[in-house]
A and B are shown apart, each in its own frame.
Chain A
Amino acid sequence: MSFRTPLSQVTGSGSAKSGTAHWWGQRVSALGLIPLSLWFAGSVLQLSRADYITVIVWLHTPWVAVLLSLFLVTLLYHAYLGVQVVIEDYVHTEWLKFTSLLLIKFACILLGAAGVFTALRIAFGA
């Protein structure tokens, strides 16, 4: 039998009140980034000598927009989870830790929104 309270079982949280969601999120996004980052690295390598028009034509391809959006979101989610742990490990002043965590989170969301919006805008032909 479990000695955990019904509330504790429902929330699924451990003593740190976060459970294993962070750990799993980092691993699952890592798994997704294996093919996505290889695809992106290979693509920009092919584009390394390309001019502006060639880059736009590439970004205009539908599956490029899909993969690029997925890559950006997965990358920034994975980056946030990683940088979060680094800050929690090294920043011990409470207000500074709290402020940097918030700033990093907002920065990642802003970068993701700007990147995905741009990818879709080019793909839809603006």
Chain B
Amino acid sequence: MADNRPLSPHLGIYRWQITMTMSILHRATGVALAVGSLMLVWWLVAAGMGPDAYGTAHAFLSSWLGQLLLIGWTFSLFYHLCNGIRHLAWDAGWGFEIKTLYITGYTVWVVAILLTAGTLWVAYTGGAA
């Protein structure tokens, strides 16, 4: 490849916008959730193997590292889910106007954070007021 070909402008040239953060975060949360499928299958297979194996998996999930991972996966799931619906709307040809783009973008943040907070609230308090 010749080194002096003209190139399209790369990331560093653009002013920061929330939309670009949301785009890369969609990918990052997707990869995080793919890694989380390892944990999911470990948990399930451990349950199939018996109380001892399940106890080991459960102890890991109850540790501070396990809890941190679960909180991360909870947010990743809700973010990827909400932003994924936004992506599907784009695929259907809807929501490309700049104004709509920002409205749906901020909506994704609000809904994902609310769902994460609600889930953590139920998980840590049992849902009691």
Which residues of A come within 8 Å of B, CB atoms? 27, 30-31, 33-34, 37-38, 41, 45, 48-49, 52, 55-56, 59, 68, 72, 75-76, 79, 82-83, 86, 108, 111, 114-115, 118-119, 121-122, 126
Closest chain B residue to A113, Cβ basis: B41
B61-86 interface bits toward A, Cβ cutoff 8 Å, 1 = contact, 0 = none: 00000000000001001000100110
- State how many angstroms separate the Cβ of B81 from the closest Cβ of chain A: 6
Give the residues in chain B near A38, CB-CB below 8 Å.
81
CB of B108 closer than 8 Å to a CB of A:
no
Q: Does more than half of chain B's interface fall in helix, strand or loop, or is it mixed?
A: helix
Contacts of B87 in A (CB 8 A): 30
Most buried by A among B40, B44, B47, B55: B44
Between A and B, how many residue pairs show CB distances below 8 Å? 73
- Contacting residue for A27 out of B47, B51, B91, CB 8 A: B91
Closest A residue by C-beta to B47: A55
Q: Nearest Cβ distance between residue B33 and chain A, in whole angstroms?
A: 7
Shortest distance in angstroms between B85's beta carbon and chain A's nearest beta carbon?
7
- Name, among B38, B40, B77, B91, the residue most crowded by chain A CB atoms within 10 Å (CB to CB): B40
The answer to whether A83 and B48 touch (CB under 8 A), given A27-B91, A31-B88, A34-B85, is: no
